[in-house]
Amino acid sequence: MTPRRTAALAHGVTRLARDLTGQSSKELTALVAEQSACTERGARLVEQLASGQLASGEARATMRRLEHAGDAVRAKLVGLLGTVLATPIDAEDLFRLSRSIDDVLDNLRDFVREVDLYHPASLELESPLARALAVGAARPHQTVEQLGNPRAGAPRARLAARQ
């Protein structure tokens, strides 16, 4: 057996052991939680922008970094999903959840970009909505963190996330 095939076999055995011991599920859950945390931070940033605590140029630069971080985490998640045998929830649902989280972050980025581009006189009308969005963005993050431990209050967190 060639050294390359030996290394590939060793990697496959390691991956199988991670799947059988539940480590892959924990890794997937951690990636979705990290992606959701980026979206939560983006929503908090929009809240600060709408309330006037943050300048639009600074918000745009910070949002760009958050959005790139969220995309990088999503890329890792999608790559890992293709190699894992067992997932905490259906792999297609996990992919869909990740895509939805990414869509929210993309929309937040677009909002910040347009505020920086058009410099509206006031964001007073957007402030209550931004506050509600920031509160709502925290819910999926809390729920995802509990995926691996269904007895830790996940049913209540799922209900809150749906609301």
pLDDT digits (tens, 9 = 90+) for 101-126: 999 999 999 999 999 999 999 999 99
CA 30 to chain centre: 9
Check residue 96 and report its DSSP letter: H
| Residue with more model confidence, 45 or 83 | 45
Q: What's the one-letter identity of residue 124?
A: E
Would you call 19 helix, strand, or coil by DSSP?
helix
Find the angle CA(84)-CA(89)-CA(92) to the nearest 5 degrees. Answer: 70
CA 72 to chain centre: 10
> Is 16's pLDDT higher than 60?
no
Segment 23-40 shows an average pLDDT of 90
> Is 58's pLDDT higher than 90?
yes
> Is 64's pLDDT higher than 90?
yes
Q: What's the one-letter identity of residue 25?
A: S
| Neighbour-count burial of 29, counting CB atoms closer than 10 A to its CB (0-12 exposed, 13-18 middle, 19+ buried) | buried
Segment 32-36 shows an average pLDDT of 94
Among the listed ranges 25-34, 37-46, 49-58, 142-151, which one has the minimum average pLDDT value?
A: 142-151
